[in-house]
């Protein structure tokens, strides 16, 4: 019988556009130290480490995890690295959960770290071109990468197909209001890259176009930072909780899905993010959630782009297809509304340190569940070409 698994410790480093003062080794150590401190245990009490590292090029080494395993105090213990595009963090939590639920270990650390702007383009004296190129290698290297594939135009393909199908949804004034709302939420996140970058809907609409229909203030920013969780099986988790005085936030549902990477009949429906649909509904099934609109209170989702946030909310079954704008028009995600969506500011305002991002989202969901006395949160990661990969987690404060 599978064991229950819960989160008993969590931490994030500050997310920044550039950590000049820290190597990725140091960021990893920092997040590890703070998560272990939060759980009030010793590093020797952690049985295994699961590393969420998206891109080797960012860390300038082919096996980034080998250098940090011993430095984080995990020498001679199990270590596993996961890489699944933007969903890397959520997939890594899923992997750690599986090992603990199976009884392999009593405790595990999930650690995500990225140091993307160690990439640098000396012709422009900026990191951006080299970072975009490094992300471009995530695309198909025979067809997509040589013609200039980027994450933005990849996601835009889905959004444009959705808008063709539902021409009255994803209105510019609504996506602008969502971005403005996220910029208000981020004020309470002291670790966020853009904590003090509050914007109005008008400013969002007037920001420059990056890839149609995405405006500059509607897209995530690349980030350096780290995040860590301490997970434990039920008996150990309850003992740690008794010692810390903090409730265990249980992982009651896990769901994943990887779509076909090519569009076409019976392959990829461009108006849908089917990986989001399957990932969320598999997590609901495992958690025993029959109607997510009556159960889910907090949503920490992977908002690479505001438009994709809206499409993902339809795939989760939290708003109807073609009516994602009801998030604002009906007040569903406004303060006091039905759903608390990305209270950390999301990837757009917290920052997107890819391997660490979904772990940061889980950190935020845990914090909000405990602080607000709420019961259920959905944590989501998506990524790769045309949002191909998804992993979802149901967290419960019981």
- Both tokens of 337, joined, read 């509304």
Structural contact between residues 317 and 281, judged by C-beta atoms closer than 8 angstroms: yes
Q: For residues 363 and 367, what is the distance between their CA atoms, to the nearest angstrom?
A: 6
* Closest C-alpha to 381, from 350, 349, 359: 359
Compute, in degrees rounded to 10, the torsion defined by CA atoms 380, 385, 386, 390.
Answer: -20
> pLDDT at residue 61 above 90?
no
Q: Is the pLDDT of residue 1 over 90?
A: no
Name the packing angle between helices 172-185 and 306-315 (round to 10°). 90
Instruction: Round to whole Å and give the CA distance between 292 and 284.
Output: 7
Q: Please give the Cα distance from 76 to 68 (Å, whole number).
A: 13
Of the two residues 150 and 267, the one the predictor is more confident about is: 150
Per-residue model confidence (pLDDT) at position 261: 79
Does pLDDT of 94 surpass 70? Answer: yes
Q: Identify the pLDDT of residue 262.
A: 74
Which H helix or E strand runs over 113?
Answer: strand 107-115
Closest CA to 137 of 126, 128, 124, 146: 146
What integer pLDDT is reported at residue 280 of this predicted model? 98
Residue 129 has pLDDT above 90, yes or no: no
Can you read off the two tokens belonging to residue 31? 């997040």
Residue 264 has pLDDT above 70, yes or no: no
Q: Are 233 and 48 in contact (CB under 8 A)?
A: no
Structure tokens at 141: 């290297």
Tell me: pLDDT of 104 over 80. yes
pLDDT of residue 140: 76
Domains of the chain: 5-119+222-244 (3.40.47.10)
pLDDT at residue 135, rounded to an integer:
77
Helices (H), the chain: 24-39, 56-59, 64-69, 88-101, 128-136, 151-165, 172-185, 201-206, 234-244, 274-287, 292-295, 306-315, 326-329, 346-349, 354-372
Write the DSSP assignment of 66-104 as a string of letters. HHHHTTTT-TTSEEEEE-BTBTHHHHHHHHHHHHHHTTS
- Residue 265's pLDDT band, with cuts at 50, 70 and 90, is low
pLDDT-derived band of residue 387, with 50, 70 and 90 as boundaries?
confident
Cβ density class 128-146: b for 16+ within 10 Å, e for less: eebbbebbbebbeeeebee
pLDDT on residue 398 = 85
pLDDT band at 144 (very low <50, low <70, confident <90, very high): confident
Would you state the pLDDT for residue 165? 98
DSSP string, 256-315: EEE--SS-BTTTB-TT--HHHHHHHHHHHHHHT-S-HHHH--EEE---SBHHHHHHHHHH
Confidence tier at 263 by pLDDT (50, 70, 90): low
The first and second tokens of residue 85, run together, are 């595009």
Cα gap 154→107, rounded to integer Å: 38
Residue 336: exposure state from Cβ atoms within 10 A (0-12, 13-18, ≥19)? exposed
The predicted pLDDT at position 59 comes to 87
As a whole number, mean pLDDT of residues 346-373 equals 98
Average pLDDT, integer, range 247-268? 87
The mean per-residue pLDDT over the stretch 299-313 comes to: 98
- Cα 398 to Cα 379: distance, rounded to the nearest angstrom: 17
| pLDDT per position as a tens digit, 183-198 | 999 999 999 999 999 9
What CA–CA distance (Å, rounded) separates 216 from 25? 31
Render pLDDT for 199-254 as a digit per residue (tens, 0 to 9).
999 999 999 999 999 999 999 999 999 999 999 999 999 999 999 999 999 999 99
Q: Is omega for the bond preceding 213 within 30 degrees of 0, making it cis?
A: yes
Comparing C-alpha atoms, which of 223, 213, 216, 188 is closest to residue 351? 223
Helix (H/G/I), strand (E/B), else coil: 244: helix
The mean pLDDT of the chain is 94
**Is residue 321 predicted with pLDDT exceeding 80?**
yes
């Amino acid at each position: 019988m599978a064991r229950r698994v819960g989160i008993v410790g969590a931490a994030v480093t500050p997310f920044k556009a550039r950590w000049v003062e820290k190597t990725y080794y140091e960021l990893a150590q920092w997040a590890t130290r703070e998560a272990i401190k939060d759980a009030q245990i010793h590093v020797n009490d952690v049985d295994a480490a699961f590393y969420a590292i998206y891109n080797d090029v960012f860390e300038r080494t082919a096996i980034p995890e080998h250098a940090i395993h011993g430095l984080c105090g995990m020498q001679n213990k199990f270590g596993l690295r996961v890489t699944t595009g933007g969903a890397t963090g959520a997939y890594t939590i899923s992997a750690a959960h599986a090992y603990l639920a199976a009884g392999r270990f009593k405790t595990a650390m999930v650690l995500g770290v990225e140091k993307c702007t160690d990439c640098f383009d000396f012709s422009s004296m900026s990191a951006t071109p080299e970072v975009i190129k490094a992300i471009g290698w995530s695309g198909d290297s025979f067809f997509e990468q040589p013609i200039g594939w980027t994450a933005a135009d990849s996601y835009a393909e889905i959004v444009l197909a959705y808008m063709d199908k539902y021409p009255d949804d994803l209105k510019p004034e609504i996506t602008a209001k969502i971005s403005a709302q996220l910029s208000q939420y981020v004020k309470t996140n002291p670790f966020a890259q853009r904590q003090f970058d509050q914007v109005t809907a008008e400013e969002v609409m007037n920001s420059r176009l990056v890839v149609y229909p995405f405006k500059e203030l509607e897209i995530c920013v690349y980030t350096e930072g780290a995040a860590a969780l301490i997970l434990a099986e039920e008996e150990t988790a309850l003992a740690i909780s008794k010692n810390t005085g903090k409730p265990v936030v249980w992982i009651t549902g896990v769901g994943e899905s990887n779509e076909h990477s090519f569009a076409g009949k019976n392959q990829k429906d461009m108006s849908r993010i089917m990986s989001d649909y399957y990932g969320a509904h598999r997590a609901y099934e495992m958690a025993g959630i029959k109607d997510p609109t009556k159960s889910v209170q907090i949503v920490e989702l992977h908002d690479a782009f505001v438009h994709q946030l809206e499409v993902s909310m339809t795939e989760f079954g939290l708003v109807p297809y073609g009516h994602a704008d009801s998030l604002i028009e009906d007040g569903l995600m406004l303060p006091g509304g039905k759903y608390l969506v990305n209270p950390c500011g999301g990837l757009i305002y917290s920052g997107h340190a890819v391997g660490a991002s979904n772990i940061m989202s889980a950190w935020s969901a845990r914090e909000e569940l405990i602080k607000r006395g709420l019961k259920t949160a959905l944590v989501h990661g998506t990524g790769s070409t045309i949002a191909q990969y998804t992993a979802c987690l149901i967290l419960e404060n019981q």
